[in-house]
């Protein structure tokens, strides 16, 4: 095999699983999660200050970001405590989403 054949074969192997692309995608998803949580927190705080009401939809967004990160970290590190914390955040996400939906229907009636 010459140099070009080896390079072409290596590029075919890493075309789908390029470590650099995976690292960039991981960083991008991490920072986008943080940005979404910060924006949700700002909107939640602004809603309380301006209207005096609590919108649990924003809390659901914050909780969803937390449960995803805890469950993924717990599974990748085989850490049962992180996974358990992620499950608790998942329960909070479901509860906050249910409260937000109930408040929407209450205000609509």
**pLDDT (mean) for 60-83:** 78
**pLDDT (mean) for 86-95:** 85
Query: Which SS3 state, helix, strand or coil, does residue 18 take?
Result: coil
* Interatomic CA distance for residues 82 and 98, integer angstroms: 24
Q: Are 94 and 83 in contact (CB under 8 A)?
A: no
pTM of the full predicted structure? 0.56
Q: Which residue has the higher pLDDT, 52 or 22?
A: 52
Classify the C-alpha dihedral 89-94-97-98 as positive or negative. negative
| pLDDT surpassing 80 at residue 101 | yes
């Amino acid at each position: 095999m010459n140099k070009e054949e080896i390079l072409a074969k290596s590029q075919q192997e890493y075309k789908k699983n390029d470590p650099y692309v995976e690292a960039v995608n991981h960083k991008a998803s991490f920072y986008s999660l943080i940005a979404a949580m910060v924006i949700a927190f700002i909107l939640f705080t602004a809603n309380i200050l301006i209207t005096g009401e609590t919108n649990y939809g924003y809390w659901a967004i914050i909780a969803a970001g937390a449960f995803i990160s805890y469950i993924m970290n717990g599974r990748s590190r085989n850490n049962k405590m992180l996974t358990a914390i992620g499950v608790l955040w998942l329960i909070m996400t479901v509860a906050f989403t249910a409260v937000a939906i109930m408040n929407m229907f209450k205000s609509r009636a």
